[in-house]
Amino acid sequence: MDSFDFATMWQKTPLPMIAILRGLRPEEAAEIGDVLLEAGFTWLEVPLNSPRALDSISLLRERVGMRAIVGAGTVLTTEQVDSVVDAGGQVIISPNMNLSVIRRSRDRGAISLPGVATPSEAFTALDAGASGLKFYPAEMISPDILRAMCVVLPPHVVCMPVGGVSAEAQQLQRWCEAGAKGFGCGGGLYRAGTECEQVRHNALAYAQAWQQVNSRAQRQ
């Protein structure tokens, strides 16, 4: 999926956040998926360094059906791209910018969200067919740097800070003012072993923070 089609698809997402479920186990995948859907999350990522990640991806796809997009994070090789797509994954997310991974994702019909941190990486990823850009680690990039990069990037491109994104409306607001159009939510949402009710609490906190940001934007 190219960046224009992805931008159109992403604009229709009520809660523009990807739930990063690092450490998720297959036996809890269905329940965690239900909780996240109830809170409004419709993009679910299982990093491949999680236990039996491909099994969790398959189980989540079966559970959520057409209600959410499911994919993998920490995808580093073309072989992993194939494994994820074969397991039912729809989105390929990486911490780095690997041209082979981007192209294989495109060829397999998957959404490609590579990790970038510089203008050169961002433009190279888009030229290779990236659907959107994961700005990682966000702690290193900062809203000011993202703002400067968005000045030169095509305006339709979906830029997502990932890393240290909290459920605080003020933080989300700063990123949005800098040009962010979405976020990846990791440790503040889910960590390995987190009880389901705690995940529910965390997910609702992120959703409420986004509602505050969105309400402010609509009033302006």
Mean pLDDT for the stretch of residues 152-175: 97
188-199 CB burial, b ≥16 within 10 A, e <16 = ebbeeebeeeeb
- The residues carrying an active-site annotation are 45, 134
Between 217 and 27, the higher pLDDT residue: 27
For residue 220, the model assigns a pLDDT of 63
What tokens does 199 get?
A: 């995940």
Give the full edge-to-edge strand order of the sheet including 115-116. 115-116, 133-135, 159-161
Instruction: Spell out the residues 6+ positions from residue 137 whose beta carbon is closer than 8 angstroms to its own.
Output: 117, 162, 163, 164
Mean pLDDT of the chain: 97
Structural domains of the chain in order of their starting residue, each with its CATH number:
3-219 (3.20.20.70)
Between 220 and 146, the higher pLDDT residue: 146
- Answer yes or no: is pLDDT of 203 > 90: yes
pLDDT in tens, 63-94: 999 999 999 999 999 999 999 999 999 999 99
Confidence bin at 216 (pLDDT 50/70/90): confident
- Answer yes or no: is pLDDT of 28 > 70: yes
What stretch of H or E contains 167?
none
Tell me what percent of the chain is helix, strand and coil, each rounded to the nearest 5. Answer: 50, 15, 35
φ/ψ of residue 91, rounded to 5:
-135, 135
| The Cα angle at residue 19 between residues 13 and 21, in degrees rounded to 5 | 155
Looking at the chain, the whole-number percentage of residues with pLDDT higher than 90 is 97
Mean pLDDT for the stretch of residues 118-129: 98
- Answer yes or no: is pLDDT of 218 > 80: no
Mean pLDDT for the stretch of residues 6-30: 98
Q: Residue 175, Cβ neighbours under 10 Å: how many?
A: 24
